[in-house]
Amino acid sequence: MKQKNGRLIVLVAAIAVAAVVVGGAIASQRGPEPGANSAAPLSATSSAPQTPAGTPSAQTPPATPSAAGSPVKVSLKLSRLSKGRDPQVAYLVGREVRGGAGDVVKVPGNEQIQAITRVGDAVLAVVSKGLGTELLTIQYDKVEHTPDVTSVVSTADGKEAAYATKKVSATDGGAREGSTVYATVTDAGLPEVKKLELANRWDVSVLAYQDGKVYYRAFTTQNSPTWQLYEWDPAKSEATEVKTITSPTALSGDGKTAGVLTVLNDNGTCSAAIEVASGKRLWRTCEYQIRGFTSDGRTAISGPARVDGYADGLVAALDARTGSLLREWSGLSFRQTVAEDDQHLLVLADDGSETKASIIRCTITTGACELATPLAKGELMIGQ
């Protein structure tokens, strides 16, 4: 997509990255299971007081009931947060993939890591290669390479993954037409990789892999002003366009609601929550941009309407049915946000470029936050 204005180029690029990261997280992340690893309450020294949850309205229950007396808007300081439990999903520290169901796995090489996820016993990592990227599939002592992959998501149970390529020129890194969408499937216990060749699509990114279907978005032409949403059953040779949705940024885990861009210009964006089956607009906001949903589809994870610069200046949780603001966090530079479960968000945050960072855990019902990883310099990333 060619743009003449520099700020708009940054805006579109940031939206594309954020949407893929969060959209993929919606399909893949699960909350801690009950028992020894179940969610523990945040410490009293966290950023907001913890009080018992209020009683939701019988007529219009909120997506996540807010605790009585807890502030809707919370300003954070990393130095004031205490250390809580480690992330319960896959995450990256340096070149080590930790967390989730699996041992610590080191991503080989020294190329910049763009995205990671776990699938079964394997770790999938998108890394830079020359002017483009590639996917490393790391399983035990074996590493497989898939060229040009830029986006990857996994299923909620962590058993399968989908990923897509974006081809670039080897001379100047410019975008080229065409993509391949991949999906791993398990047939009679044996894993197999299915492929969907897209010869005439641009800027293809996978958003979700759920209920046996891969959802991806793409431009139909290089200069198209909007993305289209497609649904692909890996058992079939063609995908189907989801005609009720245009310019998607996220898809809920139940597949019923999509976040879309309705306005995109130099001054910011407007987002809407759309009912996928009918195309009905549930609500619209020009204050926030929808980046994803909790796995139950009840909370829309959002960032600022204007995306310009190093990181976001806020993270917000909105009622996915009404658009009402449930919680907003500010005071830090927010670089990535993923739903750990239906009531907790994991947020990669720091105080600005070249400062120490942490993955923090914030509770939607109370606004309280804690450190999920210690403050440190170096590479940090939340899995998808």
Which residues sit opposite 361 in a β-bridge?
346, 370
Neighbour count for residue 154 (Cβ, 10 Å): 28
Is the separation of the CB atoms in 192 and 217 below 8 Å? no
Structural domains present in the chain: 6-44+93-336 (2.130.10)
Among 102, 94, 104, 144, smallest CA distance to 124 is for 144
**Distance (Å, rounded) from C-alpha 352 to C-alpha 47?**
19
| CA separation, residue 376 to residues 78, 336, 357 (Å) | 11, 16, 6
> 380 falls in which pLDDT band (50, 70, 90)?
very high
- 47 vs 232: which has the higher pLDDT: 232
Comparing 1 with 118, the larger pLDDT belongs to: 118
Q: Given this model, what pLDDT does residue 172 score?
A: 86
pLDDT at 13 over 80: no
- Residue pair 93/357 in contact (Cβ under 8 Å)? The answer is no
Across residues 322-330, what is the average pLDDT? 98
* Structure confidence at residue 308 as a pLDDT band (50, 70, 90): confident
Question: What percentage of residues in the chain have a pLDDT greater than 90?
Answer: 69
- Per-residue burial over 324-354, b if 16 or more Cβ lie within 10 Å, else e, is ebbbbbeebbbbbbbbbbbbbbbbbbbeeee
Structure confidence at residue 67 as a pLDDT band (50, 70, 90): low
Tell me the pLDDT tens digit for each residue of 68-126.
567 999 999 999 999 999 999 999 999 999 998 889 999 999 999 999 999 988 999 99
Contact 300, 328 (CB under 8 A): no
Q: Mean pLDDT in the chain? A: 84
**Is the confidence at residue 52, as pLDDT, over 50?**
no
CB neighbour list of residue 61: distance below 8 Å, 6 or more residues apart = none
Three-state secondary structure call for residue 260: strand
Percent of the chain surpassing pLDDT 70: 82
Q: Give the pair of three-digit tokens for residue 279.
A: 């195309």
Q: Which has more pLDDT, 139 or 23?
A: 139
Confidence of residue 188 (pLDDT cuts 50, 70, 90): low
Torsion of CA 205, 253, 269, 272, to 10 degrees: 130
Measuring CA to CA, how many Å separate 324 from each of 285, 298, 365? 10, 12, 14
Residues 66, 53: Cα–Cα separation, whole Å? 6
Question: If you average pLDDT over residues 1-12, what whole number do you get?
Answer: 39
pTM (two decimals): 0.82
Can you give the pLDDT at residue 311?
94
Kindly report, residue by residue over 172-182, the tens digit of the pLDDT. 889 999 999 99
Mean pLDDT of 179-207: 92
Which residues, in sequence order, are CB contacts of 99 under 8 Å at separation 6+? 86, 87, 88, 89, 90, 91, 383
pLDDT tens for residues 217-273? 999 999 899 999 999 999 999 999 999 999 999 999 888 999 999 988 877 889 999
pLDDT digits (tens, 9 = 90+) for 76-89: 999 999 999 999 99
Query: How far apart, in whole angstroms, are the C-alpha atoms of residue 29 and residue 27?
Result: 6
User: Taking residues 38-58, what's their average pLDDT?
Assistant: 36
Backbone angles phi, psi at 27, to 5 degrees: -75, -25
pLDDT band at 2 (very low <50, low <70, confident <90, very high): very low
Q: What six digits make up the tokens of 233?
A: 């059953």
What distance separates the 2 farthest-apart alpha carbons in the chain?
61
What pLDDT, in 10s, does the model give residues 146-171? 999 999 999 988 999 999 999 888 88
pLDDT over threshold 70, residue 25: no
CA distance to 63, 165, 299, 315, per residue, from 345 (Å): 14, 28, 11, 10
DSSP state letter for 78: G
The two tokens of residue 95 are 């070149």
Rounded average pLDDT over 279-307: 95
Helix runs in the chain, H state only:
6-28
